[in-house]
Amino acid sequence: DAGVIQSPRHEVTEMGQEVTLRCKPISGHDYLFWYRQTMMRGLELLIYFNNNVPIDDSGMPEDRFSAKMPNASFSTLKIQPSEPRDSAVYFCASSWGSHTDTQYFGPGTRLTVL
């Protein structure tokens, strides 16, 4: 398996623009997680899905952020409009399920908002 795939790997955009980050989880995994990492706040969970259904979105910063999982093999994280403080590395992870299962992380998308 290729592991968790994220695209793009790097994104540079201007403030106010829409940004869409993409994630393909490992086949067969029921859970998908979106994390964000910044120097100030470290690694923090934004949202996670179980069987394509959002379970906990309490980490989503504000209405500018939205995440979808239309099917088991694809998820998107959208920011609109983007702001400079959204600059961070965004990681997607997937797992089979329970709290004892390993989460496998993608390589991340480095987002820079100018």
Partner 1 sequence: DAKTTQPNSMESNEEEPVHLPCNHSTISGTDYIHWYRQLPSQGPEYVIHGLTSNVNNRMASLAIAEDRKSSTLILHRATLRDAAVYYCILTNFGNEKLTFGTGTRLTIIP
Q: Which residues bind partner 1 (CB under 8 A)?
A: 4, 31, 33, 35, 42-45, 48, 50, 55-56, 91, 93, 95, 97-108
Q: Which is nearer to partner 1, 16 or 97 (CB)?
A: 97
Residue 16: CB minimum distance to partner 1, A: 28
Q: Which is nearer to partner 1, 45 or 72 (CB)?
A: 45
Q: Which is nearer to partner 1, 15 or 55 (CB)?
A: 55
Task: Tell me the residue type at 85.
Answer: R
